[in-house]
Amino acid sequence: MAIFFAIKSNDHTGAYYLLKCCAAVYFFAAIQLACNTAPPVSKPYQPIYIADTAIKKATFVFGIYPASNPQNLHETYGPLIDYLNKKMPDVTFQMASSPSYQEFNSRLAGGYFHFAITNPYQALEAVKHGYKIYAKMGDDEKCRGLIIVKKDGPVKKLADLKNKTISFPAPTEMAATIMSLYYLHTQGLDVNHDIKKQYTVSHESSIMNVYLGKTMGAASWSLAWKRFELQNPEFASKLQVKWETPALINNACLVRSDVADELAGKVTALLLAMKNDVQGKKILDNIFISTFETASIDTYKPASDFMEKYKAAIR
């Protein structure tokens, strides 16, 4: 009101004086307010913790060669991959295969898998593409090719297979195909001309072909036949293993050469110790072997020597 009255009455001197007084009051009030205002209190430093699940673990692809159909493959080797994941929580192993031997072999040649379990022939080929053999399946005596026929069928002797069709899982299947063909060769059959080969996608399909009468004989290997008997007792009861090949070295465990030696060593140690572990023993029983063993390329010299004989005689 004082300022308004002073201006209204045109008393310039009074107005000027009042303005100066007000400015002084506001100035000292501002200083007083600044002095009475407490500075902001900084909060003590608190680190931010990230949950372990937020840290992405390294994933390693573990390839299993497609000897069986996808369901059987998962039931047989899935528990093994779960076992490795449980024992090595800092990394993740992911099981992978392929719908055919041809595609699996192509992936192996391209280095798609970090780890893999393969037959001996595939292992020898994989070494050429940057893989190392670090372990193997035990029980070599179980690595045999089988020739299966119908119990009430016309095949009684090997000569009865001449000019007939025999089913095989795949050209690169070691026991069922390569070893069986060599066996038939040693028994006098010209496997390049005397028989017709029908390649299927798995051991189960090879066996089912002879059961259904599509072929006169079916080639497989001992472990696949054992699983077939357990899963299909009615079908198996109508069939019989007529001939089997001599045994050769069992399947190989591979690791890609750029995988750290420390990690490969841990995987090897776990595989070797499975026979001494209750859970591990159950998994081995499910695969139909008693143990894993250490191995190297030198361990597979018998397979390499066999392939030389096979190529000289048949290819």
> Does some domain include residue 182?
yes
Contact 200, 206 (CB under 8 A): yes
| CB hemisphere CA count around 240 (13 angstroms) | 9
Contacts of 182 (CB under 8 A, 6+ apart): 245, 306, 309, 310, 313, 314
Q: Residue 44 carries which DSSP code?
A: P
Residue pLDDT, tens place only, 140-163: 999 999 999 999 999 999 999 999
If DSSP codes are grouped into helix, strand and coil, which group holds residue 138?
A: coil
Question: Of 244, 276, 310, which closes a domain?
Answer: 244
pLDDT at residue number 55: 56
Residue pLDDT, tens place only, 99-116: 999 999 999 999 999 999
Same domain, 220 and 155: yes
Amino acid at 266: K
CA distance 79 to 279: 10
pLDDT at residue number 2: 38
Q: Is the pLDDT of residue 315 over 90?
A: no
Same domain, 226 and 82: no
Q: Phi and psi at residue 203, in whole multiples of 5°? A: -65, -40
Residue pLDDT, tens place only, 89-99: 999 999 998 99
Contact 221, 139 (CB under 8 A): no
> Does some domain include residue 306?
no
> Does some domain include residue 42?
no
Contact 127, 133 (CB under 8 A): yes
Instruction: For residues 285-314, give the mean pLDDT.
Output: 97
If DSSP codes are grouped into helix, strand and coil, which group holds residue 179?
A: helix
Q: Which domain holds residue 164?
A: 144-244
Contact 60, 91 (CB under 8 A): yes
pLDDT at residue number 107: 97
Which ranges of 212-300 would DSSP assign to H, the alpha helix? 222-231, 233-236, 261-273, 278-287
CA distance 170 to 197: 10
Lowest mean pLDDT across 3-17, 97-111, 281-295: 3-17
Instruction: For residues 239-253, give the mean pLDDT.
Output: 98
Looking at residue 293, which CATH number applies to its domain?
3.40.190.10
Lowest mean pLDDT across 51-65, 228-242, 264-278: 51-65
DSSP-derived pairing of the beta strands 165-168 and 91-96: unpaired
Same domain, 148 and 136: no
| CB hemisphere CA count around 40 (13 angstroms) | 3
pLDDT class for 216, splitting at 50, 70, 90? very high
Q: Is the pLDDT of residue 33 over 60?
A: no
Same domain, 122 and 212: no
Q: Is the pLDDT of residue 5 over 90?
A: no
Same domain, 62 and 209: no
pLDDT at residue number 258: 97
Instruction: For residues 206-211, give the mean pLDDT.
Output: 98
What's the number of domains the chain is made of?
2
Instruction: For residues 272-298, give the mean pLDDT.
Output: 97
pLDDT at residue number 201: 87
CA distance 29 to 23: 10
Same domain, 235 and 289: no
Question: Of 224, 244, 264, which closes a domain?
Answer: 244
Q: Which residue has the higher pLDDT, 298 or 7?
A: 298
